[in-house]
Structure 1
């Protein structure tokens, strides 16, 4: 499942992906916060892991985005 792939993207395309990931990240962080408030540890763990993975990918992509 962790097969490496090679893509050719423009910096604009990478920026679009990063923007979409930011929205997803915010959603997962909010969901983790709600789950924490509800005492649902399993969901907190799931949403936090997803947020962490998204943040890692964003960090990897960010250097390829024009400012």
Structure 2
């Protein structure tokens, strides 16, 4: 398990990230090798979901 996740008291986690740029790939591979379930989401889908919920802003705080 990731050291950070362990410090948060998480015994299990599903890692979800946007497929933007090239940076997500190494992170996704790392967590998959650690046996975490990983979902890589198209940013357009996230934006469309926010629009369907009438959320007009897209920030890290809102995404979390």
TM over 0.5: no
- TM interval, shorter chain, is 0.3 to 0.5
Q: Computing the radius of gyration over CA atoms, which structure comes out larger, 1 or 2?
A: 1
Q: State the TM-score, normalizing by the size of structure 1.
A: 0.34
Larger RCO: Structure 1 or Structure 2 (Cα < 8 Å, ≥ 6 residues apart)? 1
